[in-house]
Chain A
Amino acid sequence: MNIDAIQNGIVIDHITAGRAMRIYDLLGLDALDVSVAIIKNAVSHKTGDKKDIIKIDSTMPVNFDVLGFVDPGVTVNIIRDGQLVEKRRIEMPQRLTNVIRCKNPRCITSTERAIDHVFKLTDPKNKVYRCIYCETKA
């Protein structure tokens, strides 16, 4: 399957197969008025494994924390005038602000208005994030 190369935009590559839609949702790509291609189960030339790819026909600011939280190891390629100008491998962020919400009904974030929902990475090996207020796992 072929998708046209983009002239000015962003390619999020090496997404673990099946996670593209979660990234699409968390990045709010549904609100964009530009072409967005989601390629599922593409075969990686490097490893031969399946992967997902998202191509965005716009150089919008990307929340790298979302990418690092959902799928650390993805790469973000910035394309300008048809040329690759920046390639970045995304690591797990130390803190996540307003990306996800705390699920604990006893947490102050469930009642306090205008509060940032903040999680911190407490166990990088097992990718554990905890709410900074109540320490509940994300």
Chain B
Amino acid sequence: MKRSVIDILDLTPAELEELLATALDIIDNPEKYAHACAGKKLATLFFEPSTRTRLSFEAAMHELGGAVLSVTDAASSSASKGESVSDTAKVVSCYADIIAMRHPKEGAALVAARAASIPVINAGDGGHCHPTQTLADLLTIRRQKGAFSGLTIGLCGDLKFGRTVHSLINAMARYENNRFVLISPDELKLPSYVKKDVLAERGIPYEQTTSLEDAMPQLDVLYMTRVQKERFFNEEDYLRLKDSYILDMAKLKNAKDDLCIMHPLPRVNEIAVEVDDDPRACYFKQVLNGKYMRMALILKLLKEAAQ
């Protein structure tokens, strides 16, 4: 039966475990999966540019032995002629077996999923959801920490607009004994509905701070995000705050030896390059893990669609 993944919460914890197990098996036995999707086609429909996510999906399909139909600039083709997302999804359903779609409008992936006759994977719909980034984050945490429970997770930077942060909180809030440390300037605090609906509702402990250095010693995971200049009302505030949320070796002085440092990338300057060589830096591993989880997800959805 056709099934799409729009939000990370579309996957139950049991299904996440299944995807993680598949991804780990792919890492150990890549040859076993080299032809798993032979004869199948993935269409990547990107209505806004995102080279890394698109390449990750395409690399994933190639490694599964499948083919890729790539629309790198969908916005200037069908959409500019006035075609609706629904119609585009119906048309592409005639050519491909599965769709990965990025679109600037929130909810576009759901519209495509409802119209398409093949599975749709949301590769980012505006500021709303980006479930495969969260899958990459989860595999990274699993491989680095061994478990999803009993962790103190620090989220640092832009917690207000960062969709990856909201998705990760949603995903990790389903596991036991986790606590969150929310590190951000007052202007970019986590929205109250996430704190209320996700954390307070489930009795998950969290604390808010503006100091990355103060929070550092207790953290098992540190998820960095970029503090973007355009989020501030005036440049003065931005200049005052931007360096507080740049991770460098000095700020890591009091960090745990087994801290897992993550970042959804692209990085601009929020993690100093000197940190890259530290064994605790996991953000490039995260990129690789994203490809493995996308492979696992493509496999699962194609298998379900064939049943």
Contacts and interface: CB of A to CB of B under 8 A. Distances in A.
A108 B111 CA distance: 8
Nearest to B83: A113
Query: Looking at chain B, what size class is its interface with the partner chain?
Result: 10 to 19
Interface in A21-45: none
Interface string A96-138: 0000000010111111111100000001000000011111100
Contacts of A112: 84-86, 105, 108, 111
Main secondary structure of the interface of B (DSSP, over half): mixed
B173 to A, nearest CB: 16
Contacts of A133: 106-108, 110-111
A113 B103 CA distance: 16
Contacts of A132: 107, 110
Query: Looking at chain A, what size class is its interface with the partner chain?
Result: 10 to 19
Interface in B95-111: 103-108, 110-111
A108 B103 contact: yes
Q: Select the residue from A108, A112, A115, A131 with max chain B CB neighbours within 10 A.
A: A108
Nearest to B129: A135
Given A108-B103, A134-B107, A113 B84 contact: yes
A54 B209 CA distance: 53
A111 B86 CA distance: 12
B107 A109 contact: yes
B85 A106 contact: no
Nearest to A122: B197
A105 to B, nearest CB: 10
B291 interface: no
A88 to B, nearest CB: 32
Interface string B69-113: 000000000000000111000000000000000011111101100
Contacts of B126: 106, 134
Nearest to B201: A123
4 closest pairs, A vs B, by CB?
Answer: A133-B107, A134-B106, A108-B105, A108-B107
Given A108-B107, A134-B106, A136-B106, 18 more contacts: A106-B104, A106-B126, A107-B105, A107-B107, A108-B125, A110-B105, A112-B84, A112-B85, A112-B86, A112-B108, A112-B111, A114-B84, A114-B86, A115-B111, A132-B107, A133-B107, A134-B126, A135-B106
